[in-house]
Structure 1
């Protein structure tokens, strides 16, 4: 007899949707059957619920330590669990210190230990002057290295010049490490001030992304390095990425729920909760991003959860130039995506694949992201036909700021399970090391 059995009329497996039973023993899925299974505990899903694999979010700014008033491990991982996410990978900024050397990684892990409600891994950072730290960070188990081509927005995490990025790519190719890149060309970004969203959008045009991604492709090809484009916003870059792959460049790309569900035409002037970099673009661009997902040019969908305190959003003036750029969307990614996908006729299994298996594969999490035998029993109970209206004040994020506030979304996460146990008030998450999870 196994520890727990889940019974559901809809179970989303890698082979498609089935009805039946899922057995869990010692935190691992041991059997999926269309015949009855028995366990010490049985969890019966309601007829309106679907059993999904726990989502994997590889782009989260927890901001802890140093800027815990912006978020923090406890609140971020509670929000993640409430959104059906069972694994996240924390970005090397905007914490202080940033995760750019072994000492900073030790501080990060010590800060997170015992406080996380889901499993958490860590990215390292590549900044000017820390080339000599990257091998040690890789050996310590970070999942790869993030860098910026434009200024990052925080002084302690400087951007790389093209020759610096080339040196990083050569080094990381030699040790088989992944480089993830915020790709916007700083020469094509202008300063925008004022309340008009159209002015902010014009200050970070698609050309800034297109040029930077083309440069990244050239550098990656020369170094034979593996690279990943973060938070793709410009659909005009999709042919460049597709062509690079045909030419043998090891390049992948992600986009985010806010680029796939929010539209520039709908952003009111002064509504700085919508500010992010690169920016939310027009509806026609969004349609092409969905096509890029459908044809596989875009690999995965992750949150780029980048929160701040409300005062940094400058709601007092509504000045897009002065406001912090970042969308707080960790808890709402699945319902936001499913609401839009449903309207477009995209099946739930594709949405879940983009948000679970694909990001797990990106970072080499072999036991995550799939509801399959031998994988961790990280599960989400989801009611896809039920709707709710977002109230930013009731989210688990530390600060009540959300670009989705007041929106009606379809799809409710009813419970989340980590290694076969429900995520409740006691932190049970583990700190993950690349290659061992």
Structure 2
């Protein structure tokens, strides 16, 4: 399958100007200057003129609850599974699935099946073994074997700290888990990342610092998320990133959570840049289809809403339009930074040899005209074009 996308205003994420993009099967085969490129005539070549529209990398989402989440208020509060039609229109072309609070009625087998269902629809999908609780739930009987033998598993998560729904893990338990994940990742050529759900309890990220202080494990082996859930946790996260760690900001939110002190994700990005945090240590994730629950001061469930996959694209737009962050800089938080942290070498950038995952943006708004995943157009917005 050969496709030539002509006259694309390319952000790779760095701005490359007007280019022709040659796609061979699932990869980017060439990036050509229009003025230096004669007409290409190849058997079976499909040509599409993008007429100067912006083209950006497909987004990489480190946290998606593909099989749904919730249940903190009983069976009637379970959130639904992610639908393929919602996924392909969101702008996210690489998704990492996770289990959360509920690893009883939602299982590793459910998650792996959903990963493969979405992959059959054209997306690139991976997963974490484990869940909030320790000991971790696995398919093979161990975290290390899941990561080593199952192609889709790239690490372990979403392990909960500083949260009343977690297992209150000790420093030794987290260190052993991270060691198993890291070693298996090295053997399998994967990141072995330990993806951490961070609650709003007073401990914050301190247990991760303690693991790094008392063992040989690097602090960047952990990737804590929900760092913008409170102002206090956000400041703790900035210190964590300055010390060499990674922090992940959640784009899905509700008016209630914002009123309770959550820092909007786009504002958090702007503040991190102003604080001179190394940008590559900051990522965005949607927490799609998870529950966004509310609890009272006694830990009693009040209510919930579900996270949205398309919030990732929305927040990148807010970074650009509301906080005057250059598009090429804003894109990294939802593409190249995440790909690097997760060890996905062919994702998050538009370059020769990379997977042909890309978004064609609208001329007149922050909107997606087309989504391309692995060299195939999987979604087109209804337009008059």
Work out whether the TM-score is over 0.5: yes
> Could you tell me how far 1:122 is from its partner in structure 2?
0.6
**Does the 8 A contact of 1:255 with 1:298 survive in 2?**
no
> Could you tell me how far 1:170 is from its partner in structure 2?
3.8
Q: Find the counterpart in structure 1 of residue 142 from structure 2.
A: 133
1:423 corresponds to which of 359, 378, 384: 378
Q: Find the counterpart in structure 2 of residue 22 from structure 1.
A: 21
Q: Find the counterpart in structure 2 of residue 296 from structure 1.
A: 279
* Gaps in structure 1 of 5+ consecutive residues: 190-207, 246-250, 315-319, 387-410, 426-437
d(CA) in 2 for partners of 1:159 and 1:296? 30
- Cα 1:322/1:368, change in 2 over 3 Å: same
Q: Find the counterpart in structure 2 of residue 413 from structure 1.
A: 368
**Does the 8 A contact of 1:356 with 1:370 survive in 2?**
yes
User: How many residue pairs get matched?
Assistant: 345
Q: CA RMSD in A?
A: 3.7
**Does the 8 A contact of 2:226 with 2:249 survive in 1?**
yes
Q: CA offsets per residue over residues 275-326 of structure 1, 9 Å max, x none?
A: 99xx6138998453453576427421121224459xx889xxxxx9634456
* Gaps in structure 2 of 5+ consecutive residues: 72-76, 187-191, 381-385
1:110 corresponds to which of 113, 117, 126: 113
d(CA) in 2 for partners of 1:254 and 1:244? 15
In the alignment, is residue 229 of structure 1 matched against residue 236 of structure 2?
Answer: no
In the alignment, is residue 350 of structure 1 matched against residue 329 of structure 2?
Answer: yes
1:144 corresponds to which of 149, 155, 158: 155
Q: CA offsets per residue over residues 234-287 of structure 1, 9 Å max, x none?
A: 331145324532xxxxx311113358xx8xxxx4xxx47x699xx613899845
**Does the 8 A contact of 1:90 with 1:120 survive in 2?**
yes
**Superposition pairs for residues 266-305 of structure 1, below 5 Å?**
267=255, 271=256, 280-281=262-263, 286=268, 288-291=271-274, 295-296=278-279, 298-305=281-288
Question: SS of the counterpart of 2:279?
Answer: coil
d(CA) in 1 for partners of 2:333 and 2:300? 32
- Cα 1:335/1:212, change in 2 over 3 Å: closer
The answer to which structure has the higher strand fraction is 2
2:126 corresponds to which of 121, 127, 131: 121
**Does the 8 A contact of 1:4 with 1:41 survive in 2?**
yes
> Could you tell me how far 1:10 is from its partner in structure 2?
0.8
**Does the 8 A contact of 1:149 with 1:184 survive in 2?**
yes
d(CA) in 2 for partners of 1:136 and 1:284? 38
Question: SS of the counterpart of 1:212?
Answer: coil
TM score, norm. by length of structure 2: 0.76
TM score, norm. by length of structure 1: 0.68
In the alignment, is residue 34 of structure 1 matched against residue 33 of structure 2?
Answer: yes
d(CA) in 2 for partners of 1:172 and 1:291? 34
